[in-house]
Structure 1
């Protein structure tokens, strides 16, 4: 079973316009409102793939109730820890040149008691050999080593943890050796304290250093330039797909969903790469954080080009 945890969910309001004018009136078009947050987005995509998953999330207030109801309507099993305040609402605006501007609120405060309540809820459900996806930002009141502690706890139980985080959360978490990490090129270079690059060989060499610590799989997203997939001694570079981009919001989450799906179904690394690229690119063709249709994904699967790399 696949479980996703969203520590800082949101109602995402995604919109488009020709050009964002700072300090002036902007009229938004194509406004889409979605229950979101990285873990939730992962579960939504898994649902499209007809893969069962369970959503764990901290929810609060009327916005939290909206998210819970939205997930219920999607027939996504949801287990929530309710906290004081309100779940955040985020505004994401994309212009005609696909430049994305995000205005994200801070999440509600989550104290240690509520964190322990979530820990107990996770423990009561997650079993050995399950997959746990830890994705996205932490809410206020949560220490930056929150993911690290969860990885340490569940790795001892034989749970495979997929990590998609950045900043200090990423720095602390990878020390506890999750099964899979999915940084983008910028995040990996930032962690390794080197100049940003999208060169596959350079990125693969850095990733191998992390794999030497025991991390089983590393996937590095490179935006329009594609992605790297590394497992054991295999390194595969997948070229970016050309699609009609409506929104890049949620594309990374769609890739994480594809990775979870592939691991759960024991696909080869080549199949992992093909599914991840098609599903991620498909997410860019939809408005907001909504996943692509199965038909769109099947079409994009045929367009994925892979290249094996020696490092």
Structure 2
């Protein structure tokens, strides 16, 4: 069983406009609304692939009700921590002229007192306990920086595997505690290893440094248009990003995590996990707004990659 944790969920709203012009009334296309936030996006991706997961998150106010409805419509099982604080929203406008994206991301409201403890209690009491837990996304104001580290302790105690995809102080705290898989970008990997800047040749030793320190068992480093590198104690491999027509980069990282998690649950090889994750992330960029990938696009990209390898 897979569980995703999203402490800062959102209702993602997106629209398009021909040209952004200041001080003018701008006529937009029909508003698109999607359930969003790191872990929720991972659950959506797993569902699109035909898998099952449970999405754990706090939700409150009218936006919280919208979030529940959007996930219910997709048939995603949820473990919801009811709060009074309004669930945040994000807004993205795509300027059709030049395909430029403008993303407005709200910080989220400080949750009610005790929300963190209720989430951790909900996690610890799950029976059966999930074999894989994905903790993804930013932390809202008021949630302690070591929240993901606390999640890591619970998951390790229960014998599960924890995947963490976050940044900043929350990432550093999780690394200090130790997790199963990390997905930093180049800048985050540099920060974690105390380096000002990393070039591609530096990735492997930097990742191995984290593994040797007990920070994680697997590191998957996002390299943007260059793809990604996966490193474990006994394996390392790189997968390039396929050449696709990009419409939006929103949710590409979460889509990659969804694909890797889905393959990990099925016991696939590390090479397959990496290449499938890249296919999911690339497929997400083919869709507009805050939509994620379509399974048929993922499979076409993955199969094409397999054929090229032969």
Question: Structure 1-normalised TM-score?
Answer: 0.91
Any gaps of 5 or more consecutive residues in structure 2? none
The whole-number CA distance in structure 1 between the counterparts of 2:121 and 2:144 is 18
The SS at the match of 2:5 is strand
| CA offsets 1:241-265 (integer angstroms, 9 cap, x no match) | 1111111100000011111112111
Residue equivalent to 1:66: 66
Shift of 1:293: 1.9
**Number of matched residues?**
307
Any gaps of 5 or more consecutive residues in structure 1? none
The SS at the match of 1:156 is helix
Equivalence map 1:14-33=2 (5 Å): 14-17=14-17, 20=20, 27-29=27-29, 31-33=31-33
| CA offsets 1:194-223 (integer angstroms, 9 cap, x no match) | 3444x4321121111101122111101111
The whole-number CA distance in structure 2 between the counterparts of 1:18 and 1:135 is 33
Aligned residues of 2:84 and 2:112 also touching (Cα < 8 A)? no
Return closer, same or farther for 1:55/1:303 CA change in 2, 3 Å cut-off. Answer: same
The whole-number CA distance in structure 2 between the counterparts of 1:30 and 1:187 is 36
Say whether 1:237 aligns with 2:238: yes
Question: Structure 2-normalised TM-score?
Answer: 0.91
Equivalence map 1:65-214=2 (5 Å): 65-95=65-95, 97=98, 99-125=100-126, 127=128, 130-197=131-198, 199-214=199-214
The whole-number CA distance in structure 2 between the counterparts of 1:129 and 1:27 is 46
Shift of 1:187: 1.8
Return closer, same or farther for 1:3/1:156 CA change in 2, 3 Å cut-off. Answer: same
Say whether 1:228 aligns with 2:229: yes
What is the RMSD computed on CA atoms of the aligned residues? Answer: 2.3
Residue equivalent to 1:304: 305
The whole-number CA distance in structure 1 between the counterparts of 2:187 and 2:17 is 27
